Structure 1
Amino acid sequence: MLIQQQLTPSPISVTVDFAAPGVHHGFLRLPYSRDDAAWGSVMIPLTVVNNGEGPTALLTGANHGDEYEGPIALFDLAARIRTEEVSGRIIIVPAMNYPAFLAGTRTSPIDRGNLNRSFPGRPDGTVTQKIADYFQRVLLPMADIVLDFHSGGKTLDFLPYCAAHVLPDKRQEAQAFDLVRAFGAPWSVKMLEIDAVGMYDTAAEEMGKVFVTTELGGGGTASALTAGIAMRGLRNLLIASGVMKGEVDAQPTQWLDMPDDDCFTFAEDGGLITFLADLGDRVEKDQPIARIFPVSRTGLAPVIVTARRPGLFLARHFPGLVKPGDCVAVTADMVEL
């Protein structure tokens, strides 16, 4: 099946030349036959900038469609960038999962596909799988550096941070952490994933790419603060990686480590949640951090949720109602790197 998948060409076509000098705006066009357009297409905007020799940076946002700092920074960059600023090539895709981005949802409204759990994708699969396949087989192989913007979407809220993963290849890991430092978010994280199967991150790292990501706020919106962090950090990363000319606007950052699964606290009960600590607070192991009130009737005592390890309160559940199994809180260790 894998051999057949490799032989099957992607149905996605591109309206620009990846090798042409200068700044070029266009689309990834994915045929999509539907009720209101028998010969319709999903048109994913992209910009390609080429100027001489140098590395290739692949920049993406809206891997999840309800996360906005990335699209803001990348649409802004695409509108402003000039050829003479670049040394090498920049490929900008502000909204990877474009159907989800237009709908303001985490997953695609077409097939409910979570793009960041769909890699390596399939050229003959669903719309989301076809997008993943194109990135896997066409865009990622072109890249040296990959920056994929994330934030909390509608269901999580984060202290704004830039992150990379601990990797078996320590040279690759060190290059990624160097770019995290250059990005200059208020917080920088040695990242631990709780669900890494099918992720874009994993696909890029397994190809040996230098992969950097973010979590910049949440709640299904972007503030002036978080959008500003994204735009400044993007430029810093491109300069530090040698793809853009200029000087890094160095910013102080505090490093955090997520060493094990106890960083994550999950709800075992559903109901109305109220927090007893705020993001940025120091919490201790077994410290009460939230209460969950049953909502089926009045007079019932709330369930107390406690931290599974000490650390900095890094992320929390955002909506007022919580379901069993939802991630309620994330804690991380403050470290030096």
Structure 2
Amino acid sequence: MADDIERVSVSIDIEAEGVRHGYLSVPYSHDESAWGAVRVPVATIRNGDGPTVLFTAGNHGDEYEGQIALHKLVRELAADPGQLSGRVIVLPALNAPAVTAGKRTSPIDGGNMNRSFPGDRYGTVTPMIADFVYRHLVPAADAVVDLHSGGRTLSFLPFAAIHDLPDADQRARSLAAMKAFGAPYGLIMTELDSAGMLDTAVEAMGKIFVTTELAGGGTASAETVAIADRGVRNILKHFGMIAGTPDIPGATRFMDMPEGGVHVADDPGLFEIAADLGAAVSKGDLLARIYPLHRTDLPATEIRARIDGVVLQRHFPGLIKVGDCLMILGRDMD
């Protein structure tokens, strides 16, 4: 196939001045619509020269703080685009089929958007979206902010995060943006699996990338939405795109993910949490118990901390399966 074939189209001119609301049109031929398409909402607000920030949410469809915050940001900037210097590109429902279904992955092709980069223009819907974003939107951006939460299966302390990048300058620029976001916690993150992530694709281009995990459980709260609202505006202030200095209401607690901090379930069953989010634990402390569902004569499995640390993440549902991430411990950094 010719390399210049574009399957995904965009209904707006992303380079244009002013406010544009539209969508990416992704071909999707199926039994109910032979010439159908998936539409991924996109908005751009541009006012003169300045940096470009790409904001994304709905990378996973069951994570809500970012989706809500970006819808609010678009409406605020569109009402007064003169407050902005530069350009904002917003994709509040990056994996639109997953967002519609309220699921982590796409019900169309099972695609996990954050394991699909750099994408494939000749693939199914999820890799086609990833390909368009990778080839057309990420190169246009000076920084990318991808807003996540724990979804239905995880819950986190609310943090903004970057990766421990080998390039000192890129790391410093990313760290400054993460600090400016102003979340209660800041994490220098080690991914359990970085292949196919938007994070990895953006960082490989040498650009600033900031992500978040803002609570979870497949819902949002007033507190966590406020963190996201404030954070996206702080990013624009940090880059001089709107007036003011970042609003950071309290000191950010900086943490990393030490080796041995990830705890995975070896048994299925009824999940009892014994150390809540934010709890300080010592090596050997009880983190959780797992009870066999259909036996009363067998002992519960006890999961104990392998290191000293703070509970950053926990499994959210009351049932757990073999291989589920049960808990992650972090540690304080200077």
Asked if these proteins are the same fold (TM beyond 0.5), I'd say yes
How far residue 180 of structure 1 moved from its aligned partner, in angstroms, is 1.0
1:71 counterpart residue number: 67
> Alpha-carbon deviations, 1:81-135, whole Å to 9, x = none?
1211211110000010000000000000000010100111110001101011111
- Which sits farther off after the overlay, 300-309 or 241-250? 241-250
How far residue 61 of structure 1 moved from its aligned partner, in angstroms, is 0.1
1:249 counterpart residue number: 247
Counterparts of 1:138 and 1:204, CA distance in 2: 12
How far residue 297 of structure 1 moved from its aligned partner, in angstroms, is 2.2
Partner residue of 1:12 out of 8, 27, 33: 8
1:23 is aligned to 2:19: yes
Counterparts of 2:243 and 2:28, CA distance in 1: 39
1:80 counterpart residue number: 76
Amino acid at match of 1:318: F
Counterparts of 1:235 and 1:298, CA distance in 2: 53
State how many pairs are aligned: 331
Amino acid at match of 1:221: T
1:134 counterpart residue number: 132
Q: Secondary structure at the residue paired with 1:30?
A: strand
Counterparts of 2:113 and 2:6, CA distance in 1: 16
Counterparts of 2:76 and 2:31, CA distance in 1: 37
Q: Secondary structure at the residue paired with 1:242?
A: coil
How far residue 35 of structure 1 moved from its aligned partner, in angstroms, is 2.1
Amino acid at match of 1:40: G
Q: Secondary structure at the residue paired with 2:75?
A: helix
| Kept in 1: contact 2:121–2:128 (CA 8 A) | yes
Counterparts of 2:266 and 2:258, CA distance in 1: 23
How far residue 245 of structure 1 moved from its aligned partner, in angstroms, is 2.8
Counterparts of 1:199 and 1:296, CA distance in 2: 39
Q: Secondary structure at the residue paired with 2:97?
A: helix
Q: Secondary structure at the residue paired with 1:132?
A: helix
- What pairs with 1:185-200 in structure 2 (closer than 5 Å)? 185-200=183-198
Counterparts of 1:279 and 1:153, CA distance in 2: 16
- What pairs with 1:1-337 in structure 2 (closer than 5 Å)? 7-81=3-77, 82-251=80-249, 252-260=251-259, 262-336=260-334
| Kept in 2: contact 1:8–1:123 (CA 8 A) | no
> Alpha-carbon deviations, 1:28-77, whole Å to 9, x = none?
11121122222211111111011111111000001001000110000111
Structure-2 change in CA distance of 1:153 and 1:187 (3 Å): same
Normalising by structure 2, we get a TM-score of 0.97
How far residue 247 of structure 1 moved from its aligned partner, in angstroms, is 2.8
| Kept in 2: contact 1:10–1:133 (CA 8 A) | no
| Kept in 2: contact 1:13–1:30 (CA 8 A) | yes
| Kept in 1: contact 2:182–2:246 (CA 8 A) | no
Q: Which 5+ residue runs of structure 2 have no aligned equivalent?
A: none
Amino acid at match of 2:68: I
Counterparts of 1:309 and 1:40, CA distance in 2: 52
Amino acid at match of 2:248: A
Counterparts of 1:316 and 1:142, CA distance in 2: 36
Counterparts of 1:9 and 1:278, CA distance in 2: 51
Q: Secondary structure at the residue paired with 2:218?
A: coil
RMSD of aligned alpha carbons? 1.2
How far residue 250 of structure 1 moved from its aligned partner, in angstroms, is 2.4
Q: Secondary structure at the residue paired with 1:142?
A: coil
Counterparts of 1:266 and 1:242, CA distance in 2: 43
| Kept in 2: contact 1:57–1:243 (CA 8 A) | no
- Which sits farther off after the overlay, 233-242 or 153-162? 233-242
Amino acid at match of 2:75: A
Structure-2 change in CA distance of 1:272 and 1:8 (3 Å): farther
